């Protein structure tokens, strides 16, 4: 097949750089444009020395005239900007958004959680929230593909199968997630300049983090309108990247640790990027860094029917650029793992 001509908007951020690295090596992709605002005219290697001497276009300011020359646009932009770009798409264009602009099913929900009006609400119905392990080939019917947030990716992958099969109680699910500081973007260094970012742990968004919205939205698709209660608290950790989510829950109808583990193994048996580890394994972000994998371990506690799931991903790859490429591969009828292994 001919190559997919690609434009990357937001190419100089942490996720954008990872996306350039992956797509440069992808044999079915041609990177036509790298777009940025404050770095016009620079080589992308200014932000990543490993890209030096690679044949890549210089960074340019986005112009809608570029759209006629590309098949696919990746947006790794601040929230709101992909909405504006989506209104300029030509009939031939596909948009894969790695920000939050099309994650929520209604403009009302978006306005509530992101404190700004949705500027392309007419395009929400043309979009799909795609966690590829569950969405699969249905994304071929949509022009706009929204990639899940990094935290929700680590949380939804283990929880959805268990909730779908009614194996765990919906009350009092507690999620404690630790992320590398890259998840806060390049501006994190200025924001925390005087707060010892590299040697301390910081909770933020306690009780009301924006990712609550998509976690609850996606889980309620499988709860048959039953009320659920998830408490989610994220933390910035003194590491560059990686996420480790610790999920506390109670099983329903006495489902055992082994039964829960077996269901997850069965669910993901043919999924290349989700690895169910041996029960009671202690996971490390180090095991998933620079991969598109999610590692999951189910652990016992001293209390009857109460268990803990550990879920680890690279926030910039499985929680960002890698998942976006995974969605691209499915959309364009390519092997799902192409360019990612």
Q: Which residues are known catalytic residues?
A: 150
What is the C-alpha separation between 255 and 140, in angstroms, rounded? Answer: 36
Cα–Cα distances (Å) from 147 to 200, 328, 332, in that order, read 30, 11, 16
Kindly give the pairing relationship between strand 72-75 and strand 144-146. unpaired
The SS3 call for residue 97 is: strand
Bridging pattern class, strands 306-313 and 294-300: antiparallel
Q: Which residues pair with 244 in a beta bridge?
A: 178, 312
Query: In the chain, count of helices (H) and strands (E)?
Result: 9, 14
Interior/surface letters 2-30, b for 16+ CB within 10 angstroms, e for the rest: eebbbbbbbbbbbbbbbbbbbbbebebbe
């Amino acid at each position: 097949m001919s190559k997919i001509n690609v434009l990357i908007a937001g190419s100089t951020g942490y996720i954008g750089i990872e996306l350039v690295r992956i797509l440069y090596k992808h044999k079915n992709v041609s990177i036509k444009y790298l777009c940025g605002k404050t770095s016009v005219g620079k080589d992308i290697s200014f932000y990543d020395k490993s890209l030096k001497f690679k044949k890549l276009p210089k960074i340019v300011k986005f112009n809608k005239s570029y759209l006629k020359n590309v098949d696919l646009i990746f947006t790794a932009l601040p929230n709101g900007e992909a909405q504006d770009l989506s209104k300029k798409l030509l009939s031939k264009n596909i948009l894969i958004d790695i920000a939050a602009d099309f994650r929520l099913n209604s403009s009302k929900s978006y306005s509530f959680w992101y404190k700004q009006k949705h500027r392309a609400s007419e395009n929400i119905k043309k979009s799909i929230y795609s966690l590829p392990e569950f969405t699969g080939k249905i994304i071929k019917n949509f022009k706009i593909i929204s990639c899940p947030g990094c935290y929700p990716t680590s949380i939804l992958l283990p929880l959805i199968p268990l909730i779908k099969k009614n194996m765990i109680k919906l009350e009092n699910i507690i999620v404690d997630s630790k992320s590398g500081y890259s998840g806060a973007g390049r501006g994190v260094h200025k924001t925390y300049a005087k707060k010892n970012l590299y040697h301390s742990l910081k909770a933020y968004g306690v009780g009301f983090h924006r990712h609550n919205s998509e976690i609850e939205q996606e889980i309620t698709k499988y709860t048959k309108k039953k009320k659920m209660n998830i408490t989610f608290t994220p933390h910035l950790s003194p590491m560059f990247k990686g996420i480790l989510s610790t999920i506390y829950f109670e099983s329903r109808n006495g489902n055992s640790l082994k039964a829960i583990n077996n269901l997850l193994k069965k669910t993901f048996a043919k999924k290349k990027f989700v690895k169910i580890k041996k029960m009671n394994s202690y996971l490390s972000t180090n095991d998933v860094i620079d991969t598109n994998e999610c590692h999951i371990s189910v652990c016992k506690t001293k209390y009857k029917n109460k268990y803990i799931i550990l879920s680890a991903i690279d926030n910039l790859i499985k929680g960002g650029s890698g998942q976006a490429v995974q969605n691209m591969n499915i959309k364009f009828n390519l092997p799902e793992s192409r360019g990612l292994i």
